[in-house]
């Protein structure tokens, strides 16, 4: 069960509206490497983790990614505040206005809607944790690209905060991977999702 604290994890401020940049940054809302994909992936994977530490890390980070999704949505809203169909057309985002108006929708920078295939889970802890580490790296790089595409110092500050959190998440997943590997070594078995019997005891 979650306790929702009704404030953003980091202040969201913009110097002025910028629909063109909103079209880019929305990829972190509903793109393949965005916050929605990350939060659902991590909260889904926790059930098949063999250690309490790994479960806790996935729960913690998955929950924080929900907060980051809220931050990106707030940023897009402020970047498009007061904009109408003409401003969206000028930014090359007429399709967004036609389908959603000023409302939010999960899509990438090309307008491709979010799909469940963006989420990875195979139920094998080593594969899932290493996949998560790669996901954090992809998200970090995406934030670097976005930071380079805006001149707004206030937006840059907020994006740098999210960039830093991706780095921390990468480190936490590395710790969880070490924990799972130590658990496997103590159990003297290769993880396959079920209890394994040592063949030597049967011979």
- Rounded average pLDDT over 127-141: 97
Q: Give the pLDDT confidence score for residue 184 in this predicted structure.
A: 87
Cβ within 8 Å of residue 30, ≥6 positions away: 36, 105, 106, 107, 108, 113, 114
- Residue 128 assigned to a binding site: no
pLDDT at 13 over 90: yes
The secondary structure of 56-101 as a DSSP string is: HHHHHHHHHHHHHHHHHHHHHHHHTTT--HHHHHHTT-HHHHHHHT
Residue 92 vs residue 2, higher pLDDT: 92
Q: Give the pLDDT confidence score for residue 203 in this predicted structure.
A: 46
- Residue 10 assigned to a binding site: no
Residue 187 vs residue 195, higher pLDDT: 187
* Maximum Cα–Cα distance across the chain: 77
- Rounded average pLDDT over 40-57: 96
CB 135 within 8 A of CB 127: no
193 pLDDT band, cuts 50/70/90, is: low
199 pLDDT band, cuts 50/70/90, is: very low
CA atoms of 46 and 186, how far apart (whole Å):
21
Q: Give the pLDDT confidence score for residue 192 in this predicted structure.
A: 57
Answer whether 0.85 is exceeded by the pTM.
yes
pLDDT at 196 over 60: no
Q: Give the pLDDT confidence score for residue 187 in this predicted structure.
A: 79
Domain ranges of the chain: 19-114+122-188
State how far Cα 19 lies from the chain centre: 22
- Residue 60 assigned to a binding site: yes
pLDDT in tens, 144-164: 999 999 999 999 999 999 999
Structure tokens belonging to residue 199: 């063949």
Residue 192 vs residue 117, higher pLDDT: 117
Residue 186 vs residue 83, higher pLDDT: 83
- Residue 182 assigned to a binding site: no
Find out if CATH 1.20.1260.10 is the number for domain 19-114+122-188. Answer: yes
């Amino acid at each position: 069960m979650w306790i929702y604290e009704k404030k953003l994890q980091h202040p969201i401020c913009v110097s002025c509206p910028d629909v063109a940049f909103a079209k880019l940054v929305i990829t972190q809302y509903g793109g393949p490497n965005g916050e929605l994909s990350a939060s659902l992936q991590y909260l889904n994977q926790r059930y098949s983790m063999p250690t309490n530490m790994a479960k806790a890390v996935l729960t913690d980070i998955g929950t924080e990614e929900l907060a980051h999704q809220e931050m990106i949505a707030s940023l897009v809203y402020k970047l498009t505040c007061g904009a109408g169909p003409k401003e969206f057309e000028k930014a090359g985002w007429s399709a967004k206005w036609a389908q959603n108006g000023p409302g939010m929708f999960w899509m990438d920078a090309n307008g491709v809607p979010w799909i469940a295939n963006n989420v990875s889970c195979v139920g094998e802890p080593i594969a899932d944790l290493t996949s998560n580490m790669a996901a954090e790296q992809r998200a970090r790089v995406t934030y670097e690209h976005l930071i380079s595409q805006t001149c707004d110092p206030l937006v840059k500050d907020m994006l740098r905060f999210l960039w830093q959190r991706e780095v921390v998440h990468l480190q936490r997943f590395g710790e969880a991977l070490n924990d799972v590997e130590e658990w496997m070594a103590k159990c003297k078995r290769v993880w396959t999702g079920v209890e394994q019997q040592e063949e030597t005891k049967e011979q």
